[in-house]
Amino acid sequence: MGRAARDAGGRITGADLLRYLRDLGWRDVAWQPPPAKAVPPPVAHASSTPPAALDPSRAESLEEMARSLADCRRCRLAGSRSRVVFGAGSNRARVLFVGEGPGAEEDRQGVPFVGKAGQLLNAMLRAVGLRREDVYIANVVKCRPPENRDPQEDEAAACLPFLWRQIELVDPAVIVALGRVASQFLLGTKAPISSYRGRWTSCRGRDVLPTFHPAYLLRTPSAKAAVWADLKLLRQRLRDG
């Protein structure tokens, strides 16, 4: 058989063979390509495509939201945190405290305000007749920023929808913003906290009392008098109902 009956790779194809035979004068030969092999349809592996992720900002309960955030990767903080620190306390608290973000101990335990600042917060609560279990405690960001730096704008933007939803679900009578960072993101201000702390203000239709962060109090004991005044405002508001 000559070169004309071979394909580019040197293989003889059915069409080439037919052309070759016809060239030789065989007029009555017909060539049918072999039937295509039946290829089984691809098998759908249920586990290969994860189900669409629940949007936690639409979660129906705090538990559901906590579950769906447990492996959150929405911002770079996911790369350095040990645990997502979702929030803790009573689901029906009248007071919701907002801090800035977990520290080292919170990152280890997965619970907000359990380090030194947390112990001082507990003492502040006791001073106005509240127990930790009576209030709800959350943070602007739910993962520890490396070296306890301030959360960056994009990190806070990724996390805030979940704080808004926590606030909706707990539905507290009042919110206490602990420190500059929490106040900045709740109230949308970059003014120094000393210019507005201790005055009731509002966020999303809720009363918010900004005060100093317990960690600041640990560094600056002279600020205790101001925080005590703020706590008395809180106590009065809770008594007034």
184 is a contact residue toward ligand URA (CB under 6 A): no
* Strand partners for 96: 136, 175
Which segment (39-47, 95-103, 187-195, 220-228) binds ligand URA by CB under 6 A? 95-103
> At its nearest, how many Å lie between ligand URA and the CB of residue 47?
36
> At its nearest, how many Å lie between ligand URA and the CB of residue 240?
28
Cβ proximity to ligand URA: between 56 and 87 the closer is 87
Interface residue with ligand URA among 89, 139, 159, 172 (CB under 6 A) is: 139
Number of other CB atoms surrounding residue 90 within 10 Å = 17
CA atoms within 13 A of residue 50's CA, in its CB half-sphere: 3
Residues 210-239 as x/- pattern, contact with ligand URA by CB under 6 A: -----x------------------------
Q: Which of residues 160-179 bind ligand URA (CB under 6 A)?
A: none
112 is a contact residue toward ligand URA (CB under 6 A): yes
Measured CA to CA, the distance from residue 235 to residue 116 in angstroms comes to 23
Measured in degrees and rounded to the nearest 5, phi and psi for residue 22 equal: -65, -40
Interface residue with ligand URA among 56, 87, 89, 101 (CB under 6 A) is: 101
117 is a contact residue toward ligand URA (CB under 6 A): yes
> At its nearest, how many Å lie between ligand URA and the CB of residue 154?
19
Measured CA to CA, the distance from residue 145 to residue 187 in angstroms comes to 21
Q: Is 134 exposed, middle or buried (0-12, 13-18, 19+ CB in 10 A)?
A: middle
DSSP 47: G
Evaluate whether 119 touches 125 at the Cβ level (below 8 Å): no
Q: Which two tokens stand for residue 25?
A: 């004068």
Q: Which residues form the interface with ligand URA (CB under 6 A)? A: 99-103, 106, 112-113, 115, 117-118, 139, 215
